[in-house]
Structure 1
């Protein structure tokens, strides 16, 4: 593999993401959470979403993997599901009281992990990094949307 590939933003962001995931797994494990749970915990904890469809959209994953994750989280006592009284085909999802109690500690643990990872960076460095990553994510979302739209139009033409 060309050495230049190893110094590209995509490769470096991927390495950083995996390192953050390992750090978070190590620190969240004792609280009974995994990194994969984070989008669901955040969305339910903040009241942003409470259905499987909305959680999948929030986490930017397809419905089948979200359904599998929610089944495991329910099995592990992290969430509860109740029938939606307005739509019998849908369930409302909520965090268990024990999980709600541990969320502040999980948030503090993640924030401390970020502070530890940013050691040696100035406040301005960190602000700029976040700004650049936000822009990168917008570009990637736009590009992946363009790919999906192009594939859909190719299918329509055949």
Structure 2
């Protein structure tokens, strides 16, 4: 059997994903796309635990811990004690983090618009429907094999006052 990467959904989506990341990072003026899942999760001003963020981003705890440590070092997040669990902290964006989140979200929107340039609305609808179907199929497989899966919806966040 010959492997044809131009006929592989996995290869093509991975390649497109890497191109998306590179395009976003070029627009972030030296920034990394690494914190983007945290930015997306907390952009509304809410807070989440490290565990919830890792689950939301579909990454392992050590990966999220490293990302949050770098973000804390760069003054993008702050940790506050969780009033419901003294062993846990809630993570929220700092003022600088909210600014960078806005820049990251704008960059992502720009890159998405670029990627979909020339697509007719019906083509976009079909693309999104097919990508959602792929995600559901792979998520179902992950659930069956007890592998970590991408969450279907964003966990609720608590609002800061």
> Taking structure 1 as the reference length, what is the TM-score of the superposition?
0.83
Distance 1:136 1:16, change over 3 A: same
Deviation string 1:113-142 (CA, Å, 9 cap, x unpaired) is: 111111221121112111110110111111
Query: Structure 1 residue 67 and structure 2 residue 65: aligned?
Result: yes
Q: 1:104 Cα shift?
A: 2.9
Structure 2 unaligned residues grouped into runs of 5+? 148-161
1:89 aligns with 2:87: yes
Relative to structure 2, which stretch is displaced further, 122-131 or 39-48?
A: 39-48
Cα distance, 1:111 vs. partner?
A: 0.8
Call closer, same or farther: CA 1:47–1:132 in 2, change over 3 Å. Answer: farther
Distance 2:11 2:100 in 1: 34
The structural deviation recorded for 1:75 is: 0.7
Residue 85 of structure 1, CA deviation: 3.1
- What is the RMSD computed on CA atoms of the aligned residues? 2.0
- Aligned residue for 2:17? 17
Larger Rg: 1
Structure with greater proportional helix content: 1
Ranges of 4+ aligned residues in structure 1 off by more than 6 Å: none
Unaligned residue ranges in structure 1 (runs of 5+): 150-158
Residues in 1 aligned to 2:8 and 2:35: alpha-carbon distance in whole angstroms: 29
Tell which has more relative contact order, 1 or 2 (C-alpha 8 A, sep 6+).
2
Q: How many residues align?
A: 147
The structure-2 alpha-carbon separation of the partners of 1:96 and 1:135, relative to structure 1 and needing over 3 Å to count, comes to same
